[in-house]
Chain A
Amino acid sequence: IITQLFGDVERLVNQEEYSKALRSIDKILQLNPTDNDSLYCKVITYVRLEKYQNALDLINKKFSNEDQLIFEKAYCLYRLNRLKEVTELLSKYHSKGNHDFGTRHLEAQVSYKLEEYDNALKVYYGLIQESNKNDDNNNILTNFNAVKAAAL
């Protein structure tokens, strides 16, 4: 039955039926409250439904190691306009030697929004150095130029 419910979740998210997907995820969690895949799917589904506080609460409750779901956590804080917390969280994460593309991209964007242009430029510059391997190349370059213009 769990396999069938995961099949339902997969079909519903492909159809962008996120409220229905959430109901199927909750059915799995009733059967197995600690199922990590379901908990992770629930976080993503809250994000798709723009229920960022719910997503954040779930991450803090069920993925409580500080670097678990770091991008998801930072993204929710960003959407909740808690920008200072995002930069604190991500700069701490990056200072430990992590250099995920997504978290650095988010750090740069939030630095820009906080008008911390030096940091935004530094992070975007690093991303550009490696972004020819990445589909986000044009967006990164565009944002780098926007920060340069703002910093003048």
Chain B
Amino acid sequence: KPLFFDIASNYINYPSNLSQR
């Protein structure tokens, strides 16, 4: 079976600069 890359949860990211809230 050919190689297939599984989409990863790295498409989902925390907001930046949380500590500035």
Contacts and interface: CB of A to CB of B under 8 A. Distances in A.
Contacts of A143: 4-5
Give chain B's interface secondary structure class.
loop
Given A109-B6, A142-B4, A142-B5, A71 B12 contact: yes
A11 B19 CA distance: 9
A interface, how many residues as a size bin? 20 to 34
A48 B8 CA distance: 11
Given A37-B21, A48-B9, A146 B14 contact: no
Contacts of A78: 7
Interface string A126-152: 000000000000010011011001100
Interface of B: 1-7, 9, 11-15, 18-21
